[in-house]
Structure 1
Amino acid sequence: MSKEVLIELYNRQAKIIYRYLVKYGCRKEDAEEIVQESFIKAIQHLDGVDERKLPSWIFTVALNTYRNHLKRKSIRTELSIDGGGFISRLAAEGDFTEDILVNESATLVRDCLGKLKDGYKDLLILKYEMELSYKEIGRLLGLSESTVKTYLYRARNEFKRLWREEYGRSSIG
């Protein structure tokens, strides 16, 4: 694999990974280091990673590095969602009654997101907080657009189920 491919990938993806890590609760300084570490690992493994899978490989390395960082330091992650914007976009595509979600505090939404498995949480943040397209999410995660749509559907349904269980609202969907 050529260095040009890696440079082009860095220019296209480093900011997305950084923004995602910050939204996920990572401190900005740590996010910068994790992005750099991820690309250093990519350089070290240039020959061992399929060029087509490099974007998702780097994203996975960054997430795993952050999660390991949290485990080592026993830090509780604090999702950084913007309350209304995230909720509005989720409600628009998730068969939620927007009024119910928008009127709830962002803290409740963060708590509910925190109870989802990491893969679902990742998808919801990438789609509704970072406003990435299905294609961009697929590139980051190494999935087809149709698979992203399917997994997002499942993630929304799981969020809805957890919301109902936690807050007793049966009128969300």
Structure 2
Amino acid sequence: MSKEILTELYEKQAKIIYRYLLKYGCRKEEAEEIVQESFIKAIQHIDGVDERKLPAWIFTVALNTYRNYLKRKSVITELSIDGGGFFSRLAAEGDFTQDILRDESSTPVRDCLSRLKDGYRDLLILKYEMDLSYKEIGRLLGLSEVTVKTYLYRARKEFKRLWREEYGRS
């Protein structure tokens, strides 16, 4: 694999990974270090990773690095979502009622997101907070667009279930 491929990947993915880590609750300095560390690992393992899977591999390395950091430090993450935009975009694709939209605030949304399994939370943040396309998400996670759509459907459904359990509305 050539240096040009890794450079091109860095230009396309580093900002996305960095922004995602910030949304996930990572501090700026930590996010910068994790992105750098992820690409250093990519350079070290460049011969062992399929070129087509490299974007997903780097993203996974970055997330795992941050999750391991949290486990070591026993740090509580504070998801950083904008309460207005995230929920509105999510609701636009689902069957949420206007009551939920009127009661929208970032704290309940963060609470429901934090209760989702990591994969679902990742998908919802990438789609509705970072506004990435299905294709971009698929590339980042190493999934087909169809699979991304299917998993996002399941993630939205689980989010709605958690919301109903906690706030008693559909």
TM interval, short-chain normalised:
over 0.9
Aligned to 1:143: 143
Matches within 5 A, 1:12-51: 12-51=12-51
| 2:118 counterpart residue number | 118
Structure 1 consecutive aligned stretches of length 4 or more whose deviation exceeds 3 Å = none
Pairwise CA distance, 1:62: 0.2
> What is the alpha-carbon root mean square deviation over aligned residues?
0.8
Partner of 2:92: 92
Give secondary structure in 1 for the equivalent of 2:49.
coil
Matched, 1:108 2:103: no
- 2:70 corresponds in structure 1 to 70
Q: Which amino acid aligns with 2:18?
A: Y
Could you tell me which residue of structure 2 aligns to residue 10 of structure 1?
10
- State how far apart, in whole Å, the 1-side matches of 2:74 and 2:52 are: 35
What stretches of structure 1 of length at least 5 have no aligned partner? Answer: none
Deviation of residue 99 (structure 1)?
4.3
Aligned to 1:133: 133
| Alignment size in residue pairs | 170
Distance (Å, rounded) in 1 between the aligned partners of 2:105 and 2:147: 31
**TM-score, structure 2 length as denominator?**
0.98
| Distance in structure 1 (CA, Å) of the matches to 2:23 and 2:153 | 21
Shift of 1:166: 1.2
Between the aligned partners of 2:161 and 2:68, the Cα distance in structure 1 is 29
Distance 2:24 2:31 in 1: 10
- The alignment partner of 1:79 has SS state of coil
**Residue identity matched to 2:83:** G
Q: Which amino acid aligns with 2:96?
A: F
